[in-house]
Structure 1
Amino acid sequence: MSAYPKAVAEGWHPVATLKALRKGKPLARRLMGKPVVVFQSADGPAVLLDRCPHRNMALSRGRVREGAIECPYHGWRFAQDGRCVLTPGAEEPARHGATPLPVIERAGIIWTTLAERPNAGPTLPHPIEADGFDSFWWPIKPTRARLLDAVENLLDPAHPHFLHPGIVRSGTARNPVEATVRVAHDYAEARYIENTQAQALMPRVMEGKRVASIGRFFPPSTGQVAFENTKGLKLSITVFFVPEADELVRPLAHLATQSGVIPPIFKEIMLRAFDMVILAQDQLALRRQAEDIAAFGAPKYAVGPLDVLFPAIHALANGETPAPSERTLRMML
């Protein structure tokens, strides 16, 4: 039985960008403890378990030659489907192949799954692949964190006052907010109606007067925060949290802003500058949280009144189908 939540264990996860594959080198990745190798084959992007069947050398230590990945030990080469296409010194290739994994290419990203019976494919929330937005992908280095804790951290409305004061939220002032929480069979959403002039630095620069902020969860392990002003969706940050191993998460972020007069490269520079600071603060907190939980052997969480998405995140990630629901509550953010 998998140690990972059901939807995570059976879900599709991003393992590389097409841009990274264009460099021609194989990429070593881990997915739920399994080493995998990603490379550009003659027939398109490929993902194999990162083990040569001959002497079990990691294929990612080799190189891509003539559209196949070559083991650095004896030079066996393997195609996209895992077939051995060359055994140097032999008249015919060996009958033993590497283990291929399913591959889907969408939005410039390579996705794979460890599921025995894969579902239709990954969920890519709006505005990914939508017109009218300037966007970029931001691959982030792996960090120590518990998977669902990392997801919840992105969607948590309560910690920015303390972890990111003056950047994301004011460290001193709070405003009344009406929150509507919707849960469906395949996503959960919390919409916070704010209608206030942002007091923290990042929303002042990037948004103007905020009308609403939204947090969304999509199984298996995707979080999205979005911000609306009077002209509609202003900024969206979608993060796919990839479980590399126990307490090791590799985030892949997609950031999108409304197209306008500001050149996309300037907006990307500003967003990276803000988010690098926020990311470092979050990563430190998640690492410390994992260490502190390990000291007790297991988590024992209390669910507070502002933890509006916590139950749905854990239910959906574990493959449960919650009954559709909607509720409204008030809070100070």
Structure 2
Amino acid sequence: MSEGRREAYWQAVALSADIGKRPKRILFDGEPLVLFRSTQGVAALFDRCPHRLVELSTGKVVGGEIECPYHGWRYDGEGRCTAIPGHVGAMPHYRVRRYAAIERDGVVFISSGTPKDEPYLHCMQGKDIILRRVRSSTQSTVIDAAEN
């Protein structure tokens, strides 16, 4: 699929209920991303601090910002560095790559581009919909799974 075409679409990556107080690591198009709740809603950033390339998903969320566990650098939902412990003066313009993120009907959608529409099934708009989520686990072999 071409880069331009993929960017026009939203992709469901998580359930809203799975994005709580802790950061959540996901893979999106082969890239590691971190999802967290910022002051503006759900945020999706590349899962690496530009300082030492540590996974931001192993850090914590503080005041709606993701904090790197290595030196405590903080990034807002837009990917801007907002705090560096011990730093005096104007903040440098460090950034983490940001992905467009939105929540709809209990699902988190992200895109690597700027989609023109919201992620919504317009054919279902205005209709009564019953959503149900079922989770289960099982133990089986690959042969059992292929057979069923």
Does TM, normalized by the shorter one, top 0.5?
yes
- 2: CA distance between counterparts of 1:90 and 1:62? 20
Structure with max Cα Rg: 1
More strand by share: 1
The 5 A counterparts of 1:90-105 are: 90-91=87-88, 92-105=90-103
Q: 2:108 aligns with which of 110, 121, 133?
A: 110
The 5 A counterparts of 1:276-315 are: 284-285=145-146
Per-residue Cα deviation, 1:268-321 (whole angstroms, up to 9, x for no partner): xxxx6xxx78xx99x9339xxxxxxxxxxxxxxxxxxxxxxxxxxxxxxxxxxx
**Kindly tell me: are residues 134 and 123 of structure 1, through their superposed partners in 2, closer, same or farther at Cα, counting changes over 3 Å?**
closer
TM-score normalised by structure 2 residue count: 0.79
The 5 A counterparts of 1:74-223 are: 74-91=71-88, 92-115=90-113, 117-124=114-121, 127=124, 130-131=127-128, 133-138=129-134
- 2: CA distance between counterparts of 1:89 and 1:27? 27
TM-superposed CA distance for 1:94, in Å, is 3.2
Per-residue Cα deviation, 1:140-166 (whole angstroms, up to 9, x for no partner): 7xxxxxxxxxxxxxxxxxxxxxxxxxx
Question: Which amino acid letter does the alignment assign opposite residue 17 of structure 2?
Answer: K
- 1: CA distance between counterparts of 2:7 and 2:53? 24
- 2: CA distance between counterparts of 1:107 and 1:121? 12
1:45 aligns with 2:28: no
Q: Equivalent residue for 1:61? A: 58
Higher relative CO (CA 8 A, sep ≥ 6), structure 1 or 2? 2
Contact 2:45/2:98 (<8 A) preserved: yes
- Aligned residues: CA RMSD: 3.1
Contact 1:87/1:94 (<8 A) preserved: no
> Any gaps of 5 or more consecutive residues in structure 1?
141-271, 287-333
Tell me which stretches of 4 or more aligned residues in structure 1 moved more than 6 Å.
Answer: none
Q: Equivalent residue for 2:33? A: 36
Question: Which amino acid letter does the alignment assign opposite residue 108 of structure 1?
Answer: G
- 2: CA distance between counterparts of 1:100 and 1:51? 11
Contact 1:107/1:129 (<8 A) preserved: no
**Kindly tell me: are residues 7 and 95 of structure 1, through their superposed partners in 2, closer, same or farther at Cα, counting changes over 3 Å?**
closer
More helix by share: 1
TM-score normalised by structure 1 residue count: 0.38
The 5 A counterparts of 1:13-32 are: 13-21=11-19, 23-32=20-29
SS of match in other structure, 2:78: coil
Contact 2:65/2:77 (<8 A) preserved: yes
- The number of residue pairs the alignment matches comes to 143
Question: Which amino acid letter does the alignment assign opposite residue 130 of structure 2?
Answer: D
- 1: CA distance between counterparts of 2:26 and 2:125? 24
- State the identity as a percent: 34
The 5 A counterparts of 1:184-263 are: none
